Amino acid sequence: MTNPAAGTPAESTPTTTRIALLGAGNVGAEVARILLEERDELTERIGAVPELVGIAVRDLDSPRTVELPRELFTTDADALIDSADVVIELTGGLEPARTRILRALNAGKPVISGNKALLARHGAELHAAAEAAGTSISYEAAVAGAIPIVRPMLDSLSGDRVNRVLGIMNGTTNYILDQMDTTGASFDDALAEAQRLGFAEADPTADVEGHDAASKVAILGGIAFHSSYTIDDVYCRGITGVTAEDVEAAREAGYVIKLLGVAERVADDGDPGQPSGVNLRVVPTMLPRKHPLAGVHGAFNAVFVEAENAGELMFYGPGAGGAPTASAVMGDLVAALRRSVAGGPGVGPSFHADLPATSVDGVRTSFSLTLLCPDRTGVLSAISTVFAEHGVSISTMQQRDLPADDQYPGQRLAELRIVTHQARNADLVNTVEAIRGLDVVLDLRGLIRVENPS
C-alpha cells in the first residue's frame, strides 16, 4: 500500500489497501460482511479504501452464516496472503495458522487475529517476528471477545501499575454456573442447555476444563505485567467437579461460584520458596455476592482490573459470538490501517519486566469445604486440631444434622461446612489431605476457593 500524499487532502484520492481474510466461520463471515457493507464509512475512517481481496477457506462449498460473493473464496491461503497488504486470521488452531501468520509478518504485513490458543502458545514468537519486520500483530478479539480490554491494557493503563486482573473470560462456563445458581440446574443439564443455545462448542472440553480461559489469562497477564507467559504458566482447574450442592451451599453463605481467571502480582514476603512474580490461575471460586463480578450473568464476560492509581475498573460485555467478536477484529483492523496510512507499525507490548510466573503454592487464599462426619463427641476437636497443626485458622463453621443414611448404618450423621481464613495454598492443600485421612471424616466435598476482594 502507498501512503496518500500528506497535507494535500483535496488533491489525493484514497489509496486502496488489500485485505486477506483467513476463515469464514462464525467470526470470519461477520468480518467479511462488515467490510463489504461498511466500505465507504471505513474508507473515511482509515484514509484508504479497505478492499477485501479474498477469503481463504478449507471447503469452497461449506454453508456460511452470511451470504458472501463466491468469487472471493479460495483454498490457496498462501497465494492470498502474498497478494495482500494486511491479513486477518480467523481460522483457529495452532497450525497452519502459525505458519501463515509468520508468512504475513515476515513480509512486513500487519496481522489481526482472534486466535487465543495460538497467542497463548506462540505469542512471543509472533511478536518478535512482527517487531523484526517493522509491523504489528493485534488480537483484541482473542481476550473476552467484543470487550475492549487488550488495547485499554496496552494503551490506557500503560502508565499505571496493575496489581491484579480478575476475569470471567469464558461465556460457556459462566452460562453453566449462572444456570446452576439461578435455577438449581445440575452441571450436565446446564451444559446441555448451553449446547442447545449454541454457546458451548460441540466438544466443550476447552471451555469446561478452563483451557480457553487459561489462554486468555496468559495473554492478558503478559500485557498487564509487561512479561511474556504461555498457557503452561497458568494453574488451571475447570468446573466439571462443581455440583448443584456446592452452588447451593455457596448461595446460603452469601457467595456465588464463578470460574475466575486471575493474574496477580505476588510480592516478596521473605519466603525463599516463593519468589516475587506473577501468579496466573483459572479456578472455580466463591465470590461475595456484592462483588461486581458476581452480577455477571449468562454468557457475558467481564474483566475486573485493580491498578495502583486508577483503582478498580470493570470491563463488561459479550465475550463471544460472531458479530460481537468481529467488532473487536474490525477495531484492530482500522487501527492497524490508520498506522499504515500514517506510516510506522505503532508500538507493540513491552516484555521488559520479565516477572516470573509463580507457583500457586504461595498464593494466599481461603477455602470452603463440606465434611460428612459421625455426630459424636471428639469429632470437632479432631478436625480443628488438624487445622491448628497446619497453621490454618477457621473463619466459620456451621453444623447441620443429617437424616440416617444406609451407607453408614447405626451412626448419627452431621454435615460440617467450614470456611477458613486466608492461608498459603500449599498449607490449605496439606490440611485438606490430612482431614481427608481422619477416621471421623466420612466424606469431603465442595472444596472450593473463596476470593476476598481487596
Ligand X SMILES: NC(=O)c1ccc[n+]([C@@H]2O[C@H](COP(=O)([O-])OP(=O)(O)OC[C@H]3O[C@@H](n4cnc5c(N)ncnc54)[C@H](O)[C@@H]3O)[C@@H](O)[C@H]2O)c1
Given ligand HSE, Na ion, ligand X, none, residue 172, with its beta carbon under 5 to 8 Å by kind, binds ligand HSE
Q: Closer CB to ligand X, residue 134 or residue 198? A: 198
CB of 325 vs Na ion, minimal distance in Å? 8
Vertex 365: Cα angle to 360 and 370 (nearest 5): 110
Q: Which three cell numbers stand for residue 159?
A: 502508565
CA-based Rg of the chain, rounded to a whole angstrom? 25
| Residue selected from 21, 101, 102, 144 as contacting Na ion according to rule CB under 5 A | 144
Is residue 362 part of the contact set for ligand HSE (CB under 6 A)? no
Residues 263-292 that bind ligand X (CB under 6 A): none
Is residue 170 part of the contact set for ligand HSE (CB under 6 A)? yes
Residues 133-152 that bind ligand HSE (CB under 6 A): 145
Is residue 23 part of the contact set for ligand HSE (CB under 6 A)? no
Tell me: cis bond preceding 453? Omega within 30 of 0 counts.
Answer: no
Tell me the angle at which helices 244-252 and 171-183 cross, rounded to the nearest 10 degrees.
70
Q: Closer CB to ligand X, residue 93 or residue 437? A: 93
Asked whether residue 27 is marked as a ligand-binding residue, the answer is yes
Query: What is each CA distance from 400 to 368, 393, 394, 415, 443, in whole angstroms?
Result: 15, 21, 17, 5, 15
Q: Closer CB to ligand X, residue 287 or residue 329? A: 329
Asked whether residue 114 is marked as a ligand-binding residue, the answer is no
Q: Closer CB to ligand X, residue 96 or residue 288? A: 96
Q: In what order do the strands lie in the sheet with 73-74?
A: 73-74, 48-56, 15-22, 86-89, 111-113, 137-138
Residue with cell 485493580: 306
Of these residues, 109, 216, 258, 290, which one is catalytic? 216
Question: From residue 62 to residue 101, what is the string marking binding to ligand X with x (rule CB under 6 A)?
Answer: ---------------x------------xxx---x-----
Amino acid at 292: P
| Residue selected from 17, 20, 28, 86 as contacting ligand X according to rule CB under 6 A | 28
φ, ψ for residue 447, nearest 5 deg: -80, 115
Is residue 330 part of the contact set for Na ion (CB under 5 A)? no
Q: Which listed range, 165-173, 238-246, 273-281, 414-422, lies at the site for ligand HSE (CB under 6 A)? A: 165-173
Given ligand HSE, ligand X, Na ion, none, residue 25, with its beta carbon under 5 to 8 Å by kind, binds ligand X
Q: Closer CB to ligand HSE, residue 213 or residue 413? A: 213
109 in catalytic set: no
Given ligand X, Na ion, ligand HSE, none, residue 135, with its beta carbon under 5 to 8 Å by kind, binds none
Q: Which listed range, 109-117, 248-256, 258-266, 377-385, lies at the site for ligand X (CB under 6 A)? A: 109-117
Binding site listing: 22-29, 116, 201
Residues binding ligand X (CB under 6 A)? 23-28, 56-58, 77, 90-92, 96, 114-116, 141-142, 145, 320-321, 325
Point out the residues that are catalytic.
Answer: 216
Binding site for Na ion (CB under 5 A): 140, 143-144, 147, 328
